[in-house]
Amino acid sequence: MNHYTDREWLEQKYWGEELSTYQLAALCNVTKNTISNWMKRYGIARRVFSEANKIVMKHYKAKAWLKQRYSEEELSTHQLATLCNVDKNTIRKWMDKHNITRRSLSEANKIISNRPEIKNGNRERAKEKWANPEYRKRQSEGHKKYDNQPGTKKIRRERAKQLWQNPEYIKKSLKALEKKPTNPEKVFDDMTPEIVRYTGNRAWWRKLDDGKNHNPDFKVTGQYKVIEIFGDYWHKGEDPQELIDLYALAGIECLIFWEHEVYEKPQQVMERTHNFIESRI
């Protein structure tokens, strides 16, 4: 049921609890005009401008109201200012007057970034960026440049020492190391023999000629052969042959399947995997 279509509820919220049409609209996830139209339909009298201003002023001047909205509901000073139709410096002044501690910039950013609409938007933008080979290349070059600066290793070493003294950090770090297979990796793992074991959980590393340590998704037991599953999104635009050649320089054979192949051509994937296992150089 839409609460705003209930006359008794609408009167109670507007006159009894002194909520504004703006607040009612936000509460019901509709526009302010929708609230106004239903009030007009029921003949519910509206406050005059001076009365509305007094109620709004009473809200942000009240310590309990201000603390609940800011600390418990985690509204920003900007949102409170918009809600009360005042400048955000006015909100800050009353917060200081009531000794309500304001969030630091990092705390405020954390709250904003954890909001679903922001979090999902950031995730999609990050995916788009990292799908671009040029972007990945620029990021890699930037990290290398920073790594080569004098004192960088010392700074990182000291920072790591401090972090690993924190039990909570140790717990989170160890949990993060428990990497689990992706869906296409699970499907592939189920269809292949036991000799093909999952190593994407950082169980098998090799340093290749690009100077990086590589952790393949799967390793053929007893043979220098690895199998990688390329996600259609994350590896878009990549040439699998480049990685195959890189492994070959280290004396390791590599077989690569795309995600869509695992899903759409399981029989061909199984046949190629068996041929790969049984082949000899």
In this structure, are 94 and 20 located in the same domain? yes
Q: Flag whether pLDDT at 228 surpasses 90.
A: yes
Question: Taking the CB of residue 230, how many other CB atoms lie within 10 A of it?
Answer: 20
| Weakest mean pLDDT among 21-25, 100-104, 239-243 | 21-25
pLDDT at 150 over 60: yes
For CA atoms 144, 146, 148, 151, the dihedral sign is negative
- Integer Cα distance of 109 and 236 in angstroms: 31
Q: How many domains does the chain have?
A: 4
pLDDT at position 166 over 70: yes
Residues 91, 20 within the same domain: yes
118, pLDDT greater than 70? no
Expressed as residue numbers, the domain containing 121 is 115-147
Tokens 């904003």 label which residue? 112
Phi, psi angles (nearest 5°) of residue 74: 60, 35
Beta bridge partners of 219: 197, 226
134 and 211 assigned to the same domain: no
Is residue 254 within 8 A of residue 230, CB to CB? The reply is no
Same domain, 134 and 229: no
Could you tell me if 78 and 32 lie in one domain? yes
The CA radius of gyration of the chain, in Å to the nearest whole number, is 30
Same domain, 141 and 200: no
Tell whether 136 and 212 lie within a shared domain. Answer: no
Are residues 87 and 137 located together in one domain of the fold?
no
pTM for this model (two decimals)? 0.42
Same domain, yes or no: 193 and 242: yes
- CATH number of residue 248's parent domain: 3.40.960.10
Closest CA to 206 of 238, 247, 240: 247
Name the domain boundary from 163, 178, 193.
178
SS3 state of residue 254: strand
Looking at the structure, tell me whether residues 122 and 158 fall in a common domain: no
Same domain? For 190 and 273 the reply is yes
| Chain position carrying tokens 């917060």 | 95
Q: What mean pLDDT do residues 202-231 have?
A: 91
Q: What is the residue-averaged pLDDT of the chain?
A: 83
Least trusted range by pLDDT, from 98-107, 161-170, 271-280: 161-170
Kindly indicate the confidence band of residue 179, based on its pLDDT and cuts at 50, 70 and 90.
low
- pLDDT of amino acid 274: 93
CB 255 within 8 A of CB 225: yes
Rounded CA separation 171/218 (Å):
27
CA-based nearest residue to 92, from 72, 106, 78: 78
Is residue 139 within a helix (H) or strand (E), and if so which, with residue range? Answer: helix 133-147
Q: Do residue 27 and residue 43 come from a single domain?
A: yes
